[in-house]
Amino acid sequence: MKVVIVGGVAGGATAAARLRRLDETAEIVVFERSHYISYANCGLPYYIGGVIEDANELTLQTPERFDARFNVKMKVRHEVLAIHPDTKTVEVKNLETNEVFSESYDHLILASGAKPLLPPFEGLDLEEIFTLRTVEDTLKIKDYINHHDIRSVVIAGGGFIGIELAENLKELGLSVTVVQALNQVMTPFDPDMAAFIQSEMRLHGVQLKLGAAVEGFKKTEQGIDVLLKDLPAVHADLAVVAIGVMPDTKLAQDAGLKLGIKNSIVVDDQMRTSIPNIYAVGDAVQIQNYITKQDTLISLAGPANKQGRIVADVICGKESHYKGGIGSSVIKVFDLTAAATGLNVTSAKQMGLDVDYVVLSPMSHAGYYPGGKTMVVKVVFEKQTDRLLGAQIIGYEGVDKRIDVLATAIYNQMHASELKDLDLAYAPPYSSAKDPVNLAGFMIENIHDGQLKQWYLDDVDRVVHDETIMRLDVRTPEEYAQGHVNGFTNIPVDELRNHLDKLDPAKPVYLMCHSGLRSYIASCILKGRGFDAYNFTGGYSFYRAVMQETKLMECTSACGMEQTK
């Protein structure tokens, strides 16, 4: 059996190694057009920033080591030019010698990945404009910074690569501006949660221009101007385009394979394409969203590696299936950790789902143990079915642990209220007896039981101006004096029972406290006395953080528009 693999990074290298473990006699040939195989895309920004000091650490394997261990012919600097399914051959070009030759296969695996999305911007060919996708891209950026007087950088795009690169360049002491066409960074997060990421970036000196679309680049005597639609240009010494990726599937398209979203390769759950004996894995393929069963694209290393293993199993006769992805991810943003899994509220509503969510701000570990830090947890669920749909967490410690628990719960199709039943590890330095995941389950169960009614950030304007309702802030007078929402009367929760005569039982009561806990207790008191009470999910701390970022965005946008007049 002879297997040819196009692409030697995540999915391709995994498939090759798994094939060898399952079949010692198979002939395995991998063609990779770059100089490197099995490299860590996610680590590239950290080499530019100096966190990873040795470029060799970016590659998990060299072609020589891979061949020695797995007896796989790793052909770097070889580009596959065409696939000929009728003769079961591929046409290959040696990029070092320009020799073109034909290679036969019994099974062909396409692991061509994705390529940077590059709209037809003016000035893309300028030497100061870069993309970041491969090790070669990384070395070019690093070398350019080292050999030029670089003081300012513009990054077009606020996704994973853009945010990680912004942090690393800022840590080098450069002036960094992130330009994003959308009004938020990091679309796996809802706008309210993304506000925490944006605030952290601003806190560390990264300038954000949100809702600003790049239109091109122009050479100047001092560097380049990044041209923006309806806004003044931003000057920089260097720019990186990181506005997204698209499946790299020209080979598949030319060979007549069935294509899907954004020309991705359509595969079944065994990674088979529409042509026999041709398989595809990784960023180039269209997969199924595990939650909604809808077709989607997920460009992450985890799914690519799993798919590489599965395709090797299938070729070797094992019954193996890919069940879909939920898009679990985590990112470091200076001192913060931000993680997401499954659907956020924005995407769920776009799919027509009737959803609800809870926001809570628990400590990372037991409050009485020193060093605990607050995290913000948002859990999304379907109203009628209680189906757990997704979660987002932002904090400093324990974020990755909780998001993995929630991802596991989603994958196992748990109901959201069942989170309360999970038996999770507890010791004071690591968690609380009521873990944040359990607390989310308690809140969701209370909603389903009618014990808890919520109101939300989107309701603030209506609530503030509605004279048919009562508004109570149940924090201490000292907390209230430091900041509160206009129109809310202060009655501390511990004094509430003594002031019930001041409240009108005919009016609903909208409650707020710092995190949502004391206002929930207040809602229980009022509910027990016949009042219709609603608790603000997330609390005043959540409201203040999101609104501060929102006002800053509005001010920045207004100032930018004023400059164009």
For the beta carbon of residue 318, count every other beta carbon within 10 angstroms. 12
Question: Where does residue 46 rank: exposed (0-12), middle (13-18), buried (19+ CB within 10 A)?
Answer: buried
Separation of alpha carbons 543 and 535, rounded Å:
13
User: What residue spans of 316-354 are helical by DSSP H?
Assistant: 345-350
C-alpha pair distances (Å), 447 with each of 83, 357, 393, 473: 56, 10, 21, 21
Structure tokens that stand for 375 in this block: 């995290």
- The span from the CA of 270 to the CA of 311, in Å, is 6
CA 403, 405, 406 angle in degrees (round to 5)? 65
Question: Among the options 42, 316, 524, 555, which is catalytic?
Answer: 42
The conformation of residue 39, written as its DSSP 8-state character, comes to B
Please, are residues 538 and 195 in contact by the beta-carbon 8 Å criterion? no
As a whole number of angstroms, the distance between CA 227 and CA 211 comes to: 14
Do the bridges between strand 329-333 and strand 152-156 make them parallel or antiparallel, or are there none, so unpaired? unpaired
Answer yes or no: 555 catalytic: no
Residues 6+ apart with CB under 8 A from 55: 47, 135, 138, 139
Residue 96: other Cβ atoms inside 10 A = 10
Q: Are strands 231-236 and 223-228 parallel, antiparallel or unpaired?
A: antiparallel
Active site positions, annotated: 42
